[in-house]
């Protein structure tokens, strides 16, 4: 068994057909790249502490748990309760990420 995962050598649909995993990989890496660009702008603007992590690290930290939920619970055989649980988990992760990454604004002086 060779290490062909994610390469053109792996063609589950037959010769000459693209590996569907390479398409998913490109999309995931593109999303991480675009998020990293956004995080870089927010770091530069002072919205995110510069010492929290690189823009790429932050993008990966945001997307990885959501991608994991996709693999574990949002597959073709997913039941409605699996889908609901995955959506809830992804929402809670996004809320946690925002709280952890973006410092709370100081309360206005009265």
List, for residues 79-110, the tens digit of each pLDDT value. Answer: 999 999 999 999 999 999 999 998 776 555 55
pLDDT at 7: 42
In angstroms, rounded to a whole number, what is the distance separating the alpha carbons of residues 50 and 59?
Answer: 14
pLDDT at 23: 82
Decide: 101 and 42 in contact? Cβ < 8 Å.
no
List, for residues 17-70, the tens digit of each pLDDT value. Answer: 767 678 878 888 999 999 999 999 999 999 999 999 999 999 999 999 988 888
Domain boundaries along the sequence of the chain: 20-101
This prediction has a pTM of 0.70
pLDDT at 108: 56
For residue 103, give the nearest of 40, 34, 21, 47 by alpha carbon.
47
């Amino acid at each position: 068994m060779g290490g062909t995962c994610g390469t053109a050598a792996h063609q589950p649909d037959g010769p000459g057909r693209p590996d569907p995993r390479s398409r998913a990989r490109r999309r995931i890496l593109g999303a991480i790249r675009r998020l990293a660009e956004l995080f870089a702008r927010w770091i530069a603007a002072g919205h995110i502490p510069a010492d929290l992590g690189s823009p790429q690290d932050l993008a990966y930290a945001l997307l990885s748990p959501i991608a994991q939920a996709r693999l574990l619970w949002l597959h073709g055989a997913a039941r409605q309760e699996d889908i609901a649980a995955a959506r809830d988990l992804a929402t809670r992760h996004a809320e946690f990420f925002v709280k952890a990454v973006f410092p709370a604004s100081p309360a206005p002086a009265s």
